Structure 1
Amino acid sequence: MTKKREIKLALYLIGAGMHVAAWKHPSAQANASIDIKALQKTAHIAEKGKFDIAFVADSLAINHESHPHILNRFDPLIQITALAAATTKIGLGATASTTYSEPYVLARQLMSIDHISNGRVAWNLVTTADATGETALNFSRDKHWEHDHRYERAEEFIDVVRSLWDSWEDDAFLYDRDNNIFYDRHKVHETSFKGNYLSVKGPLNIARSVQGQPVIVEAGASKPGQQLAARTAEVVFVHWDNIEKSKEHYRQLKAQLAPFGRTEEELLVLQGISPVVGDTEEEAIRKFNELQSLIDPYESLKFVSGYMGNVDFSKYSLDTPAIEVEFPEVNSIQSHFYEHLEIIKKENLKVGDLYARLFGPAKRDAFVGTPTQIADEMERWVTERAADGFMLQFPLLPRDLEDFVDKVVPILQERGIYRKDYTGTTLREHLGLKKPLNRFAQSKVTEG
Structure 2
Amino acid sequence: MQRNDEMALGLYLMQAGYHEGAWRDPSVPVNGGVDIDHYAHLAALAEGAAFHFVFIPDSPSVVEQDLASLARVSRNDTFEPITLMSALASRTQHVGLVATATTTYHQPYHLARMFASLDHMSRGRAAWNIVTSGYKFEAHNFSEDGLVDHDMRYARAREFVGIVKGLWDSWETDAFIRDKNIGIYVDTMKLHLLNHRGHFFSVRGPLNVARPPQGYPVLVQAGASDAGIQFGAEIAEVVFTAEPSLENGQRYYATLKDKARGLDRSDDQVLIMPGIVPVIGKTKQEAEEKLKRLQSSTHIDVLFDTADRWLGSVTDLRAVNLDSLVPDTLPRTNLIQSRQKVLLELAARQKLTWRELIRLVSDSRGHLMVVGTPDEIADTMVDRFDQRAADGFNVLPATVPSGFKDFVELVVPELRRRGKFRCRYSGKTLRENLGLKPPLNRFTKLP
Answer whether contact 1:298 1:314 (CA < 8 A) is retained: no
Deviation, 1:435, is 1.3
Is 1:313 matched up with 2:320?
no
C-alpha distance 363-26 of structure 1, shift in aligned 2 (>3 A) = farther
Partner Cα separation in structure 2 for residue 431 and residue 63 of structure 1 = 33
Q: Partner of 1:306: helix, strand, or coil? A: helix
Is 1:105 matched up with 2:113?
no
Give the CA RMSD over aligned residues. 2.1
Partner Cα separation in structure 2 for residue 102 and residue 208 of structure 1 = 19
Deviation, 1:346, is 4.7
C-alpha distance 196-365 of structure 1, shift in aligned 2 (>3 A) = closer
C-alpha distance 196-364 of structure 1, shift in aligned 2 (>3 A) = closer
For residues 42-191 of structure 1, the aligned pairs below 5 Å read 42-65=42-65, 68-130=73-135, 133-191=136-194
Partner Cα separation in structure 2 for residue 345 and residue 279 of structure 1 = 32
Is 1:272 matched up with 2:275?
yes
C-alpha distance after superposition, 1:407-446 (max 9, x if no partner): 11112122221111011121111111111111111xx226
**TM-score using structure 2 length:** 0.94
Which residue number corresponds to residue 445 of structure 1? 446
C-alpha distance 267-160 of structure 1, shift in aligned 2 (>3 A) = same
Which residue number corresponds to residue 9 of structure 2? 9
Is 1:31 matched up with 2:31?
yes
Partner Cα separation in structure 1 for residue 365 and residue 164 of structure 2 = 37
- Ranges in structure 1 where 5+ consecutive residues have no aligned partner: none
Quick check: 285-294 or 88-97, which moved more? 285-294
Partner Cα separation in structure 1 for residue 18 and residue 369 of structure 2 = 18
Deviation, 1:322, is 3.6
**1:58 alignment partner AA:** D
Answer whether contact 1:276 1:367 (CA < 8 A) is retained: yes
Quick check: 339-348 or 144-153, which moved more? 339-348
Deviation, 1:362, is 7.7
Is 1:375 matched up with 2:378?
yes
**1:380 alignment partner AA:** D
Partner Cα separation in structure 1 for residue 111 and residue 430 of structure 2 = 19
Which residue number corresponds to residue 290 of structure 1? 293
Which residue number corresponds to residue 222 of structure 1? 225
Answer whether contact 1:166 1:438 (CA < 8 A) is retained: yes
Answer whether contact 1:246 1:386 (CA < 8 A) is retained: yes
* Aligned residue pairs, count: 440
C-alpha distance after superposition, 1:102-142 (max 9, x if no partner): 00011000110111111111000001112xx2211110112
| Aligned counterpart in structure 2 of residue 236 of structure 1, from 231, 236, 239 | 239
C-alpha distance 363-183 of structure 1, shift in aligned 2 (>3 A) = closer
Deviation, 1:282, is 2.1
Quick check: 219-228 or 284-293, which moved more? 284-293
Which residue number corresponds to residue 433 of structure 1? 436
Q: Partner of 2:26: helix, strand, or coil? A: coil
Deviation, 1:345, is 4.2
| Aligned counterpart in structure 1 of residue 409 of structure 2, from 392, 406, 409 | 406
Quick check: 279-288 or 166-175, which moved more? 279-288
Partner Cα separation in structure 2 for residue 392 and residue 272 of structure 1 = 6
C-alpha distance after superposition, 1:49-85 (max 9, x if no partner): 1111100111122143469233221111111111111
Partner Cα separation in structure 1 for residue 174 and residue 412 of structure 2 = 40
Quick check: 104-113 or 39-48, which moved more? 39-48
Deviation, 1:298, is 3.3
Partner Cα separation in structure 2 for residue 165 and residue 225 of structure 1 = 24
Q: Partner of 2:74: helix, strand, or coil? A: helix
Quick check: 217-226 or 279-288, which moved more? 279-288
Answer whether contact 2:385 2:391 (CA < 8 A) is retained: yes
Deviation, 1:349, is 2.6
Which residue number corresponds to residue 391 of structure 1? 394
C-alpha distance 267-312 of structure 1, shift in aligned 2 (>3 A) = same
Answer whether contact 2:240 2:272 (CA < 8 A) is retained: yes
Partner Cα separation in structure 2 for residue 385 and residue 239 of structure 1 = 15
Answer whether contact 1:292 1:362 (CA < 8 A) is retained: no
Partner Cα separation in structure 2 for residue 360 and residue 164 of structure 1 = 41
Quick check: 210-219 or 291-300, which moved more? 291-300
Partner Cα separation in structure 2 for residue 58 and residue 374 of structure 1 = 27
Deviation, 1:366, is 6.8
Partner Cα separation in structure 1 for residue 288 and residue 392 of structure 2 = 24
C-alpha distance after superposition, 1:343-392 (max 9, x if no partner): 33454432221233345538897722111221111111111100000011
Quick check: 65-74 or 298-307, which moved more? 65-74
Which residue number corresponds to residue 327 of structure 2? 323
C-alpha distance after superposition, 1:257-313 (max 9, x if no partner): 123221001000001110112222222222222212222233212111111232432
